[in-house]
């Protein structure tokens, strides 16, 4: 019998230590070491040669001899998911989907399984958290039924899963979830760092050698990161995060890694009784509850990948009660709020150092691009001066430290989206007007400085 030993593995980066450490010397995280019991056989180098189920092995090939045709993506009914994946599902790809418990990961993948099966793709749905009866109950509620190509397999052992894949020969495999699967050769507990790493490596080998697309569900930690070693995200082709509040109906699907497309795309869904429903025009949703003539409100046309979205930026500026003014932000960067307030105080003459500031991007969306600076500045000034903005006006522009309004990209798409939603005027950087085709049914006003922008927006 092989001798067992104990080691400690960092759950964040996978660093191995013979003793417990409070802080990982590799990634610097605290209290991330987990104890694992391993045998001598576990430390041996495994056979990692890529061999397909048909016995084909990979071999060195001249790059000029490689067939360079594009991977034949197959699209599904969900245009939102197609957009986030970069145009459709790539055969042989390994996709990791993470999100909070109850956010809708299993619901999304079961609906996707039904759509792929409807188009003739053979799908194997492997569940380690539910029985076949429970999956069937959920599929009936979602309307996923009367399909000849969708197989359900309640199993957690990777040896049995490999045999099932070899027998069924599916085009797509769903693993729900990777933390419940186990490799028989690894002596660690289910869900441990070694188990997650071994299972993911096995799934990647299956996907690449047999040209099978595999979707993997991953649990997340309290901090919102996918549980398991950080190498898990490096091993897969695409990492998607399913975001949203369980107490609200809207869900955001965002790509943070994608080898086959952009990482800036955003998919928006609404959770209803029959599952997840696509939101075709999210701008209307983000603006539908906006109050007219409200102070501290400004509309920005933000770009999420190739999609322009109109979002309301709300600001509340109140006198500070304590010695140090507070800066609180939801959906926007708190440090950028402090920077914009400093520019407003220095370049626009607003006395904000003794004011508490609370900023929010309405609708639960997170905005990170520089083009939201002007809308943030105008919402802050509107709340501070107690002057409402024009409800039919939106703002686009980056704010520099010297008070200048800098140009942004894709200005025509932004203006076109504002025009489509019925806005009458848009304030943009003046330098963006150079070469702009002025054929929009909207008043486009160019500004150079923040003082000029405040004068136009607040009519001061």
Residues 130, 250 within the same domain = yes
The token pair at 434 is 């150079």
| Residue of higher predicted confidence among 306 and 416 | 416
Q: Residue-wise over 87-106: b if at least 16 C-beta within 10 A, else e?
A: ebbbbebbbbbbbbeebbbb
For residue 202, is it within any domain? yes
Statement to judge: residues 294 and 268 lie in one domain: no
Residue that finishes a domain, picked among 258, 280, 302: 280
Q: How confident is the model at residue 44 (pLDDT cuts 50, 70, 90)?
A: very low
* Residues 377, 331 share a domain: yes
Q: What pLDDT, on the 0 to 100 scale, is given for residue 243?
A: 84
Q: How confident is the model at residue 438 (pLDDT cuts 50, 70, 90)?
A: low
328 and 353 part of one domain: yes
Tally the domains of the chain. Answer: 3
For 256, half-sphere exposure in the C-beta direction (CA atoms, 13 angstrom radius) is 15
Q: Are residues 374 and 268 in the same domain?
A: no
Confirm whether 355 is domain-assigned: yes
* Per-residue pLDDT reduced to its tens digit, 111-168: 999 999 988 899 999 999 899 999 999 999 999 988 889 999 999 999 999 999 999 9
Q: Please state which of the ranges 92-106, 245-259, 341-355 shows the lowest mean pLDDT.
A: 245-259
* 333 and 221 fall within a common domain: no
E strands of 110-265, at which residues? 123-127, 150-154, 172-176, 213-218, 238-244, 250-258
Same domain, 379 and 425: yes
Cα(452)–Cα(460) distance, rounded to whole angstroms?
10
Q: Is residue 272 predicted with pLDDT exceeding 80?
A: yes
> What is the pLDDT confidence band of residue 13, given thresholds at 50, 70 and 90?
confident
Same domain as 300, residue 250: no
Cα–Cα distance between 226 and 245 in angstroms, integer? 17
Residues 26 and 163 in one domain: no
Q: Which residue has the higher pLDDT, 346 or 49?
A: 346
39, 194 contact by CB (below 8 A): no
Residue 384, domain extent: 285-458
Binding residues for ATP: 99-106
95 and 19 housed in the same domain: no
- We report the CATH number of the domain holding residue 183 as 3.40.50.300
Question: Which residue ranges are tagged as binding site?
Answer: 99-106
CATH of the domain at 34: 2.20.28
pLDDT at 15 over 60: yes
pLDDT of residue 419: 92
Q: Are residues 24 and 104 in the same domain?
A: no
pLDDT of residue 102: 85
CATH code: domain of residue 349: 3.30.230.10
- Whether residue 2 is predicted with pLDDT greater than 60 in this model: the reply is no
pLDDT at 126 (0 to 100)? 95
Q: Is residue 271 in a domain? A: yes
**Mean pLDDT, to the nearest integer, of 19-39?**
84
Q: Please indicate, yes or no, whether residues 31 and 79 belong to a single structural domain of this protein.
A: no
The answer to whether residue 64 is domain-embedded is: no
For residue 63, tell me if it sits in a domain: no
């Amino acid at each position: 019998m092989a001798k067992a030993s104990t080691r400690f593995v960092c759950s964040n980066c996978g660093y191995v230590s013979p003793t417990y450490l409070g802080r990982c010397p590799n990634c610097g995280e605290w209290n991330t070491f987990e104890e694992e019991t391993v045998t001598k056989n576990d430390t041996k180098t495994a056979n990692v040669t890529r061999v397909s189920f048909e016995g084909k092995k990979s071999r060195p090939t001249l790059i000029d001899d490689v067939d360079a045709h594009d991977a034949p993506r197959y699209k599904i009914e969900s245009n939102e998911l197609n957009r986030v994946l970069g145009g459709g599902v790539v055969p042989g790809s390994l996709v990791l989907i993470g999100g909070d418990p109850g956010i809708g990961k299993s619901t999304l993948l079961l609906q996707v399984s039904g759509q792929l099966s409807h188009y003739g793709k053979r799908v194997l749905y492997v569940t380690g958290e539910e029985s076949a009866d429970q999956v069937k109950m959920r599929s009936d509620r979602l309307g996923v039924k009367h399909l000849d190509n969708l197989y359900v397999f309640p199993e957690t052992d990777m040896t049995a899963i490999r045999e099932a894949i070899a027998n069924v020969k599916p085009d797509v495999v769903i693993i729900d979830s990777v933390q419940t699967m186990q490799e028989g050769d690894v002596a660690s507990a289910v869900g441990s760092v070694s188990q997650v790493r071994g299972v993911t490596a096995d799934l990647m080998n299956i996907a690449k050698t047999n040209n099978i697309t595999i979707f993997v569900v991953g649990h997340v930690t309290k901090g919102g990161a996918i549980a398991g070693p950080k190498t898990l995200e490096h091993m897969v082709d695409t990492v998607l995060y399913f975001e949203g509040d369980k107490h609200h109906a809207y869900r955001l699907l965002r790509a943070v890694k994608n080898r086959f497309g952009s990482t800036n795309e955003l998919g928006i869904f609404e959770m209803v009784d029959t599952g997840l429903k696509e939101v075709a025009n999210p701008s209307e949703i983000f603006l539908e509850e906006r109050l007219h003539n409200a102070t501290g409100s400004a509309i920005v046309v933000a770009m999420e990948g190739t999609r322009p979205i109109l979002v309301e930026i709300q600001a509340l500026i109140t006198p500070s009660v304590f010695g140090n003014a507070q800066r609180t932000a939801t959906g926007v960067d708190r440090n950028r709020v402090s920077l914009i307030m400093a520019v407003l105080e220095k370049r626009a003459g607003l006395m904000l150092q003794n004011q508490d500031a609370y900023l929010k991007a309405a609708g639960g969306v997170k905005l990170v691009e520089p083009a939201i600076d002007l809308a943030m500045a105008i919402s802050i000034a509107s709340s501070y001066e107690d002057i409402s903005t024009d409800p039919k006006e939106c703002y686009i522009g980056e704010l520099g430290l010297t008070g200048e309004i800098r140009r942004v990209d894709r200005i025509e798409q932004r203006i076109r989206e504002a025009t489509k939603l019925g806005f009458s005027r848009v304030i943009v950087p003046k330098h963006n007007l150079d070469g702009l085709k002025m054929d929009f049914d909207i008043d486009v006003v160019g500004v150079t400085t923040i003082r000029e922008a405040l004068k136009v927006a607040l009519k001061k």
